[in-house]
Amino acid sequence: MKNHIIIYFAAVLFVFTSSLIAQENKENRFVDSLLNRMTLEEKIGQLVELVTPNSVTEKMLSNGNVSSILGIKDADIANELQHIAVEESRLGIPLLFTNDVIHGYNTTFPIPLAEASSWNPGLIEEACRIAAIEAASNGTHLTFAPMVDIARDPRWGRIAEGSGEDVYLGSVIAEARIKGFQGNDLKSKSSIGACAKHFVAYGAAEGGKDYNTVDISERTLREIYLPPFKASVDVGVVSIMSAFNDLNGIPASANYFTLTEILRNEWNFDGLVISDYNSIPELVKHRFARNKAEAAAKALTAGVDMDMAGDDMKWSVYAPHLDSLIKNKIISEKILNESVRRVLRVKHRLGLFENPYVDKDFYKSNMPSFSERKNTALRLARESIVLLKNENNLLPLKKHLQKITVIGELADNPHHPLGPWNTAPILENVVTPLDGIKNYASKKTEVEFIKGCNVEGNDRAEFDRAITAAKSSDVVIMVIGETREMSGEAASRTNIDIPGVQLDLVKEIIKTGTPVVVVLMNGRPLTIPWLDENVPAVLETWFLGDQTGNALAQVLFGDYNPSGKLPVTFPRNVGQIPIYYSHKSTGRPFNGNDKYTAKYLDVDITPLYPFGYGLSYTDFEYSEITTSKRNYNSDEIIEVSVTVRNTGLIDGEEVIQLYITDKFASITRPVKELKDFTKVLIKPGETKKIKFVITPDKLSFYNIDMDKLVEPGEFTISIGGNSRDVISKSIIIND
Ligand code: NOJ
């Protein structure tokens, strides 16, 4: 019987692998036959992406000088341009239309950092499927997402666009996003291609200053910054974007080691690499190339296939320079051919040769209904909210209060909840915090709104009105934080306190004695020690997109029990940065009684809120980590279970997090590393046994020779509801 099963599975595997090989061969034959018919000019054209759609001329398209266009958001325009490329160019190669579909297209979902706080990859995937079909219906073939940069510096504005500080969480979410965009079938009209960016280590910019230099060891590169890209490649991402930063002396957009040796040779990535906007001509600014021609040669040789912003007269590099570089034999046509091949391969994979046009009828009947899309946005938004503090169970609020005062510029503005990066948002669909509170409060409750102050500036003119209103209220909800322009690209800050006079206003309102709930809206961790000490309830809502107000109100009034967990550490002050949970022990780990240990004189060594942290309206108790035995071989699978009990009075979802510590190793290892998690609903009084499976790769690391392996010895398995509060058990990996 057993033999039959093995033979059956071997046969299935054989058929599957053979069909993959056949598909690949067919693709290669198609691409090569096209390539063989192309002129040098046409080949170069395939490496050019235009970013100013208005400047595209019919001649450029019919001559085959354009491969791709960024920023088309209209099916008719897309079809019109495509028609010229397909019908009027010599070889009829279709155009590839790209957009930055970062957290939704028309439906705006929470910003990526918020979505990561949901620790719900399935729901994130669902949101990306919706974004994909909305974008595809308007002509998009490929999105410049997900951003999979690990970010450990909250000063860096682009932390908002990623999944935070952790390698494992970041990789799992990268996979979910790519699966969501690309679906099961890349050629489907509901799918778009994804692009993992920014390759690589862009998030490690010195001082959190956008575009800044990165200088890190190969070990850090391989352990921290590369894994989410590797996960993206393994799940089939069709493209990668090369980054702006220089990495250990070589700009990422001309880095042969990362783009060719690692990405192509080690990982066998055969998709397309596109430069970030102007990152090739910026090699001149890096003073790594003397001029744009040299920049073009260096980028193409390193492995950048397509030049983004190739239409900008001042900046384009491939279009004006590749011809003479090839003719003068400075770069070989073989290298050029390889890049063209990759572009054509991706166009083929996306089905553009069979279906170049937007099929408007398809979307009329296949677009999920508005209410389905809204429902996903609401579920994701509420799961992205993190309850940071809830003294004396101030939350959830009772529904039948007499009066609620809502304060803050951010409470009544539909623009900010959209957060940084929007493609085609619909402003009228945004439910502001104030709208949401009105939607969910009892009809008998008076809801008064007073702006109080702006996010920025020092105008205190409305302070008195806010104080008076607060005095006559049962509760005050203050929505404070950052504007949407304060995070995202080119939005780094050195001071990550609450901007303007917002905190001063909170202090005044607290003095009234009326209970205060602070709702934070921001794109990065902020330094909020005063709030933590003095405000009874604090909610982190980031930027939640269209359903901001409804999601917030569901949490405020207890229609939804918050389950979000921080994907990034909150520092006490900016001087603690970089601060992340998976740090090393050092030779002098912190010991409060001993002066000569790793600490600061002027601030507590711990973060304000640790990675993975987030409260619920109920409590969970962890007990009994069990493994089937204590000693394992290094190739064995370890089954672990833990018991989690809901000790409170209401249903709650808990994110159960599993961390591993390699106790002693030939290379210093982090104090703990997240290796698995699961989100479960537990009823009051119910106990659930949660099982995890630890595969050998989760115990492995790069040794001195950069070989990835498991070293025998003791490992600690820690499980809990955040990275700080865990229970542990140790196991031994035998020699
Ligand atoms: C620059 C950004 O760094 C990148 O993430 C984005 O995809 C491109 N601009 C195109 O908008």
Point out the ligand 1 atom lying closest to the alpha carbon of residue 145: 7
Distance separating alpha carbons of residues 118 and 115, to the nearest angstrom? 5
Residue 512 sits in the same domain as residue 431: yes
Residue 519 sits in the same domain as residue 667: no
Point out the ligand 1 atom lying closest to the alpha carbon of residue 71: 11
Which one, of 725, 718, 720, 716, lies nearest residue 630 by Cα? 716
Point out the ligand 1 atom lying closest to the alpha carbon of residue 244: 3
The partner residues of 273 in beta bridges, in order of sequence, read 240
158 Cβ inside 6 Å of ligand 1: no
Residue 398 sits in the same domain as residue 514: yes
Q: Is 447 inside any structural domain?
A: yes
197 Cβ inside 6 Å of ligand 1: yes
From 69, 73, 100, 111, the mutation candidate for ligand 1 (largest count of ligand atoms within 8 A of CB) is: 100
Point out the ligand 1 atom lying closest to the alpha carbon of residue 144: 7
Residues 510 and 531 sit within 8 Å (Cβ to Cβ): no
Residues 190 and 358 sit within 8 Å (Cβ to Cβ): no
Return phi, psi of residue 515, to 5°.
-60, 140
Nearest CA to ligand 1 atom 4: 276
Q: Is 6 inside any structural domain?
A: yes
CATH of the domain at 527: 3.40.50.1700
Residue 548 sits in the same domain as residue 406: yes
| Two structure tokens written together for 243 | 């980054």
Ligand 1 center from residue 145 Cα (angstroms)? 9
Residues 125 and 115 sit within 8 Å (Cβ to Cβ): no
210 Cβ inside 6 Å of ligand 1: no
Nearest CA to ligand 1 atom 7: 144
199 Cβ inside 6 Å of ligand 1: no
Ligand 1 center from residue 494 Cα (angstroms)? 23
Point out the ligand 1 atom lying closest to the alpha carbon of residue 161: 5
Nearest CA to ligand 1 atom 9: 277
Distance separating alpha carbons of residues 408 and 339, to the nearest angstrom? 52
Residue 514 sits in the same domain as residue 427: yes
pLDDT in tens, 354-389: 999 999 999 999 999 999 999 999 999 999 999 999
Distance separating alpha carbons of residues 112 and 162, to the nearest angstrom? 5
Domain stops at, among 528, 555, 582? 555
Ligand 1 center from residue 356 Cα (angstroms)? 24
Ligand 1 center from residue 514 Cα (angstroms)? 45
From 140, 277, 307, 492, the mutation candidate for ligand 1 (largest count of ligand atoms within 8 A of CB) is: 277
| Domain range enclosing 661 | 620-734
620 Cβ inside 6 Å of ligand 1: no
Helix (H) or strand (E) holding 548: helix 548-556
542 Cβ inside 6 Å of ligand 1: no
pLDDT in tens, 259-270: 999 999 999 999
What was the pLDDT predicted at 71?
Answer: 96
Residues 8 and 16 sit within 8 Å (Cβ to Cβ): no
Distance separating alpha carbons of residues 242 and 283, to the nearest angstrom? 12
Ligand 1 center from residue 157 Cα (angstroms)? 14
Q: Is 190 inside any structural domain?
A: no
Ligand 1 center from residue 277 Cα (angstroms)? 6
Point out the ligand 1 atom lying closest to the alpha carbon of residue 308: 10
pLDDT in tens, 456-511: 999 999 999 999 999 999 999 999 999 999 999 999 999 999 999 999 999 999 99
Point out the ligand 1 atom lying closest to the alpha carbon of residue 243: 3
3 state SS of 32: helix
Helix (H) or strand (E) holding 728: strand 726-733
3 state SS of 116: helix
Which one, of 148, 145, 179, 181, lies nearest residue 166 by Cα? 148
- Where in 350-495 does DSSP place strands (E)? 386-390, 403-407, 446-450, 475-481
What was the pLDDT predicted at 53?
Answer: 86
Ligand 1 center from residue 359 Cα (angstroms)? 27
Residue 402 sits in the same domain as residue 545: yes
Ligand 1 center from residue 278 Cα (angstroms)? 10
Nearest CA to ligand 1 atom 8: 277
Distance separating alpha carbons of residues 259 and 712, to the nearest angstrom? 33
Q: Is 674 inside any structural domain?
A: yes
Q: Which of 149, 270, 276, 311 is catalytic?
A: 276
Which one, of 399, 347, 404, 356, lies nearest residue 84 by Cα? 356
DSSP summary character for residue 526: -
pLDDT in tens, 688-725: 999 999 999 999 999 999 999 999 999 999 999 999 99
Q: Is 720 inside any structural domain?
A: yes
Residue 634 sits in the same domain as residue 546: no
Q: Which stretches of the chain drop beneath a pLDDT of 50? A: none
276 Cβ inside 6 Å of ligand 1: yes
Angle at the Cα of 379 from the Cα atoms of 647 and 123, rounded to 5 degrees = 95
What is the chain's mean pLDDT, rounded? 96
Nearest CA to ligand 1 atom 11: 100
The partner residues of 713 in beta bridges, in order of sequence, read 733
Ligand 1 center from residue 537 Cα (angstroms)? 37
277 Cβ inside 6 Å of ligand 1: yes
Compute the radius of gyration of the chain from its Cα atoms: 27
What was the pLDDT predicted at 498?
Answer: 98
Distance separating alpha carbons of residues 55 and 74, to the nearest angstrom? 16
Residue 642 sits in the same domain as residue 721: yes
Residue 419 sits in the same domain as residue 551: yes
What was the pLDDT predicted at 12?
Answer: 57
Q: Which residues contact 551 (CB under 8 A, 6 or more apart)?
A: 378, 381, 382, 384, 385, 436, 541, 544, 560
The partner residues of 542 in beta bridges, in order of sequence, read none
What was the pLDDT predicted at 10?
Answer: 61
Q: Is 119 inside any structural domain?
A: no
In total, the chain counts a number of residues equal to: 735
Residue 420 sits in the same domain as residue 548: yes
Catalytic site includes residue 651: no
Distance separating alpha carbons of residues 469 and 477, to the nearest angstrom? 12
Nearest CA to ligand 1 atom 1: 277
Q: Is 460 inside any structural domain?
A: yes
144 Cβ inside 6 Å of ligand 1: yes
Distance separating alpha carbons of residues 445 and 224, to the nearest angstrom? 50
Residue 528 sits in the same domain as residue 625: no
What was the pLDDT predicted at 130?
Answer: 98
Distance separating alpha carbons of residues 206 and 211, to the nearest angstrom? 9
Q: Is 254 inside any structural domain?
A: no
From 143, 241, 244, the mutation candidate for ligand 1 (largest count of ligand atoms within 8 A of CB) is: 241
Ligand 1 center from residue 171 Cα (angstroms)? 20
Total domains present in the chain = 3
Distances (CA, A) of 578 to 98, 524, 659: 34, 14, 20
What was the pLDDT predicted at 64?
Answer: 95
421 Cβ inside 6 Å of ligand 1: no
Residue 652 sits in the same domain as residue 506: no
Ligand 1 center from residue 723 Cα (angstroms)? 33
- Percent of the chain with pLDDT strictly greater than 70: 97
pTM summary value: 0.96
Nearest CA to ligand 1 atom 10: 277
CATH of the domain at 659: 2.60.40.10
489 Cβ inside 6 Å of ligand 1: yes
Distance separating alpha carbons of residues 78 and 186, to the nearest angstrom? 19
Nearest CA to ligand 1 atom 3: 276
